[in-house]
A and B are shown apart, each in its own frame.
Chain A
Amino acid sequence: MIEFSNVTKAYTNKDREVHALCGVDLVIEDGEFAFLVGHSGSGKSTIIKLITGELKPTEGSVHVNGYSLDRIRKREIPFLRRTIGVVYQDFRLIKNMTVYENVAFAMRVIGAREEEIAERVPYVLSLVGLEGKSDSKPDEISGGEQQRVAVARALVNNPSMIIADEPTGNLDQDLAVDIMSLLEEINNLGTTILVVTHAKDLVERFKKRVIVLDKGLVVSDGMEG
C-alpha cells in the first residue's frame, strides 16, 4: 500500500527553492491499477522517487508497504525496494548481458540461490512473452521487447507492486498498448500497478483509476470514463 499524507517536497539548488509537491494526499490500495498523469514538471517523478526512497519528503509522511519513508533508516531502504519493481522509460538494461542474465542479475544481487534463479527466470520470461529471446543481447531485440525485459526484471523478485515511470514513452502506439496490456495481466495476478504516463489515449483506453497532478497538487482522482 502507498499512503501520502500532506506531503511537500522542495528541492534546494544553491539558494533557489523549487516546490515540486505542495501537500499531496494519496492512497493506493494493494491490488489497484492507477495512472498518474500531469504536465511536465507537475511532480510525477518526484512522487515515484519518494516511494522508492530515493528522496525524503520535506514535510508530511509517506508509507509504502509497511515502511515509513519519512524516517526510514538507510540500511532498510534495500529491503523496501525489494517490495517494489520499477520500470523506466529508457529500460535501463545492461548491454553486455543477455536477456536471461539481465533478469537473473536482479535476483542474484539480492542474494538468491542459483537453483531459485534457474527456476524463476524462465517463468518470468514466459510471462512477458520472451521465451525465445533468452540468449539475445538488448540491442538485438526491439524496443517493445526491451521494455518487456525490464518488466520481467521488475517482476522477478515477486514484488507486491510495480511502478513504471513513462514505460511507453519510447515505444510506438501498438507496442505501448502491448506493454500496458502486459501490466494489466500482471495486475490481474494481484500485483499493484502505478503507471506514470503522458499518453492520453492509453489512459482513456484502459479505463483505470487516474490521478491528475498539477503544479505539485492532486487536482483530480477517480475512475476514467
Chain B
Amino acid sequence: MKVNNFGYLVKEGFRGIFSHGLPSFAAVCVTVACLLIVGSFSVLMYNVGIMVEELNKTNEILVYIDAELPDADARSVGTQINRIENVQNSVFVSREEALEAFVAEHQGDSAFSGVEATDLRHRYVVTLMDNTKMAETVVDIEEISGVANISAAYELAEGFSTIQSVVRIASIAVIVALLFVSLLIISNTVKMAMSDRKDEIGIMKMVGATNGFISFPYLVEGFVLGIFSAAVAFGLQWLLYDLLVARLAAVDTLQLFSFVPFTRLLTPMIITFTAAGLFVGIVGSLNSVRKFMDV
C-alpha cells in the first residue's frame, strides 16, 4: 500500500461510518454498554481484591500459652512463632492486658464481674502473610512447646477467598461474554457496510484491487468504532464510579466498603478500555472482511 493512498483509504473508512449513521450509532451504543459493564466488573473485581486483602490483615490467630508455663518462658514462645515461615508478626498479650481488654469490652455486664487475671492465659496475636495457608501454619504453631491451644477463624479466611474467587469467576465470565457480544455487533455493522457496497467491492476485485486495499477502509471503520466506543465508555465509567463512591460514602457510615479513588485506576483502566475497544473493533471488522475476500 502506497503512502499516497493512505489518506484516501482512511477517508473511505470514515465515509463508511457516516453513510451508515444509524447502524454505526447502534454499534457504538451497544459496545459502550458492554464495555461499561466489563469495566464495572473489572473495578469491582479490583476493589474486592483490595478489600479482601485488608480484611485478611485483620484476620488474626490467637495462640494461648500453657497456664503452667513461667512468664519468662511464655515470652520466649514468641521468637519460635516468628520463625515459622508464613507468620507476618506476633504480638504478646499478657493475661493482665487481656483482662483489661475483656473488662473494657464487657463493662456493666455483671455476669463477668468476678473474672480475675489468673482465669485468663497469656496469648499471642499472630497475623499471617497468606491466610489461605492458615491450617498448615496452625499445625506448625501447635508443635511449639508451651502452646496450649489455638483459636483461628478458618471459615472466615476461607469465606474471604471464596468471595474473591466467586467475584473473579463471575467477572471473567461476564467480561468474556460481553466482549464477544460487542465483537458480534461491530462485526455485523461492518458486514452491513460491506454488503451495501457489494457492487463496488465486486468492481474493485474485477479491476485487480488487492484484498488489503479493499479491506482497509472497513478495518478503519471497525477501529474507529471500537476506539470511539472505548473513549465514551471510559468517560461514563469514570462518572459512574465517582457517583457510586460518593453515594456509598454517604450511606456506608461504618466504612464497611473502601473503594479506591478512580484516579488511582486511571492507567489500568485506560489500557483495559483501549485494548478492549481495539480488540472488538479490529477483530470484529476482520471477521466480516474475511468472508468477503474469497475470489
Binding site for B on A (CB under 8 A): 52-54, 75, 77-82, 85-86, 92, 94, 105-106, 108-111, 113-114, 153, 157
Complex contact B208–A82 (CB within 8 A): yes
Complex contact B203–A94 (CB within 8 A): yes
Complex contact A109–B207 (CB within 8 A): yes
Specify which of B8, B207, B211 lies most central, judged by the most chain A CB atoms within 10 Å of its CB.
B207
Q: Is B4 an interface residue (CB 8 A)?
A: yes
Closest CB in chain A relative to B10 CB, distance in Å: 14
Task: Mark contacts of B184-220 with chain A using CB atoms, 8 A cut-off: 1 yes-contact digit, 0 otherwise.
Answer: 0000000000000001101111111111011000000
User: Hey, which chain A residues are within 8 Å of B200, CB to CB?
Assistant: 94, 105
Complex contact B208–A110 (CB within 8 A): yes
The answer for the CA separation of A52 and B208 in the assembled complex, in Å, is: 10
Q: Which of B2, B202, B203, B209 contacts A78 (CB 8 A)?
A: B209
Complex contact B208–A108 (CB within 8 A): no
Q: Is B295 an interface residue (CB 8 A)?
A: yes
User: Hey, which chain A residues are within 8 Å of B213, CB to CB?
Assistant: 109-111
Complex contact B210–A86 (CB within 8 A): no
User: Hey, which chain A residues are within 8 Å of B210, CB to CB?
Assistant: 75, 78, 110
Q: Is B1 an interface residue (CB 8 A)?
A: yes
Q: Which of A53, A77, A79, A109 contacts B204 (CB 8 A)?
A: A109
Complex contact B206–A108 (CB within 8 A): no
Q: A54-B295, A78-B211 are in contact. Are A111 and B206 (CB under 8 A)?
A: no
Q: Which of A75, A94, A109, A114 contacts B209 (CB 8 A)?
A: A109
Q: Closest residue to A53 on the B side, CB-wise?
A: B295
User: Hey, which chain B residues are within 8 Å of A113, CB to CB?
Assistant: 4
Q: Is B267 an interface residue (CB 8 A)?
A: no
User: Hey, which chain A residues are within 8 Å of B214, CB to CB?
Assistant: 109
Q: Which of A53, A77, A111 contacts B5 (CB 8 A)?
A: A111
Complex contact A80–B208 (CB within 8 A): yes
Complex contact B209–A110 (CB within 8 A): yes
Complex contact A92–B205 (CB within 8 A): no
Interface residues of chain B: helix, strand, loop or mixed (majority): helix
Task: Mark contacts of B222-246 with chain A using CB atoms, 8 A cut-off: 1 yes-contact digit, 0 otherwise.
Answer: 0000000000000000000000000
Closest CB in chain A relative to B200 CB, distance in Å: 6
The answer for the CA separation of A94 and B214 in the assembled complex, in Å, is: 16
Complex contact A153–B208 (CB within 8 A): no
Closest CB in chain B relative to A88 CB, distance in Å: 9
User: Hey, which chain A residues are within 8 Å of B207, CB to CB?
Assistant: 81-82, 85, 106, 109-110, 153, 157
The answer for the CA separation of A196 and B203 in the assembled complex, in Å, is: 19
Specify which of B4, B5, B203 lies most central, judged by the most chain A CB atoms within 10 Å of its CB.
B203
The answer for the CA separation of A81 and B202 in the assembled complex, in Å, is: 12
Q: A86-B206, A92-B199, A111-B2 are in contact. Are A75 and B211 (CB under 8 A)?
A: yes
Complex contact A105–B2 (CB within 8 A): no
User: Hey, which chain B residues are within 8 Å of A114, CB to CB?
Assistant: 4
The answer for the CA separation of A54 and B295 in the assembled complex, in Å, is: 6
The answer for the CA separation of A108 and B9 in the assembled complex, in Å, is: 10
Q: Closest residue to A92 on the B side, CB-wise?
A: B203
Closest CB in chain B relative to A82 CB, distance in Å: 4
19 CB-based A-B contacts, threshold 8 Å = A53-B295, A54-B295, A75-B210, A75-B211, A78-B208, A78-B211, A81-B205, A81-B207, A82-B207, A92-B199, A94-B199, A94-B200, A109-B204, A109-B214, A110-B209, A111-B2, A111-B5, A114-B4, A157-B208
The answer for the CA separation of A42 and B40 in the assembled complex, in Å, is: 64
Closest CB in chain A relative to B258 CB, distance in Å: 57
Known contacts A94-B199, A94-B203, then 18 further A-B pairs from the complex at CB < 8 Å, ordered by chain A residue: A52-B206, A54-B295, A78-B211, A82-B207, A82-B208, A92-B202, A94-B200, A105-B203, A108-B5, A109-B213, A109-B214, A110-B207, A110-B208, A110-B209, A110-B213, A111-B2, A111-B5, A157-B207
The answer for the CA separation of A80 and B210 in the assembled complex, in Å, is: 11
The answer for the CA separation of A82 and B203 in the assembled complex, in Å, is: 12
The answer for the CA separation of A78 and B213 in the assembled complex, in Å, is: 11
The answer for the CA separation of A157 and B209 in the assembled complex, in Å, is: 12
User: Hey, which chain B residues are within 8 Å of A77, CB to CB?
Assistant: 295
